[in-house]
Amino acid sequence: MHWQCRHRAIDLESPVVMGILNVTPDSFSDGGRWLGVDEAVERAAQMTAEGAAIIDVGGESSRPGSVGVDAVVERGRVVPVIERIAASLDVAISIDSSKLEVMTAAVAAGACIVNDINALRAPRAREWAAAAEVGVCLMHMRGEPRTMQEAPDYQDVVSEVGAFLSRERDACLAAGIAREAIALDPGLGFGKGYEHNLALLKNLGHLTALGAPLLIGVSRKSLIGRVLGRPPLGRLYGGLGVAALAASLGARIIRTHDVAPTLDAIRMVSTVLQGRTT
């Protein structure tokens, strides 16, 4: 299995790590740490050296209750960082955005993946992505970041999320995006309550059965905080447990703030499941 992202074919025979690089002042656990271009590029270099296959650059917080920024601000945050990473590091770059103007500028700067919490539903986004031959990740989110955690309700969260991802994947295929360019993300923590997140994690096999690479992002999220009673920066070990579980159930891309330990965890899982002896 591979993920075709413009000029890169990312090997997903074993799970890979996507390192989170938030160039925002208000992300929930690391807001403001990587606002400067030099600091952001240094952080990208560190994550690449630790084994990240992808650096996911975001210029707008999507934490619960966050307020969006306009495309000019978001573009100004991400484009200089992407340009520098593309010029200095051999790593796939993803743009975490739902705005077509930002996606376009980011890909022109060197990104090869669009990671969209809104599943490429902006006008003309799918047609542009098809023409640009970018890799795309389609995420499920009910509502919008500002309001998504206000009493989310599902009859059967696993079936409903699966149906959404299947439908949006089919719409992307109809727009001309290649099947091998599409990954899916159930959107843990995005318009889901505690029980919904647990049900999705327990039943990831139902989502991997859709036949597309599955991306999972739970790094430092409130689900871990609720179980363990720890603040965001104290949730590493809980996150490693979830990453290992997700990899064992078929997830192929693990999105995390903590690259090196997460990669260790999923490598161990892959080695056991693939029966390697060396």
| Domain limits, the chain | 2-274
User: Under 8 Å CB-to-CB from 156, ≥6 apart: which residues?
Assistant: none
Query: Please, are residues 194 and 223 in contact by the beta-carbon 8 Å criterion?
Result: yes
What integer is the mean pLDDT of 2-30?
87
pLDDT the model gives residue 61 = 79
pLDDT tens column, 137-147: 999 998 776 66
| Sign of the CA dihedral with 48 first, then 54, 60, and 65 last | negative
- At the topology level, CATH places domain 2-274 in TIM Barrel (3.20.20)
pLDDT at 232 over 80: yes
Q: What percent of the chain has pLDDT over 90?
A: 81
Indicate the pLDDT class of residue 153, thresholds 50, 70 and 90.
confident
pLDDT the model gives residue 30 = 52
pLDDT tens column, 176-207: 999 999 999 999 988 899 999 999 999 999 99
Buried b (16+ CB within 10 A) or exposed e, 58-96: bbbbbbbebeebebeebbebbbbbbbbbbeebebbbbbb
Q: Residues 20, 22, 27, CA angle at the centre, nearest 5°?
A: 110
Query: Please, are residues 34 and 43 in contact by the beta-carbon 8 Å criterion?
Result: yes
pLDDT tens column, 83-106: 999 999 999 999 999 999 999 999
pLDDT the model gives residue 207 = 96
pLDDT at 23 over 80: yes
Catalytic machinery residues: 221, 255
pLDDT the model gives residue 275 = 80
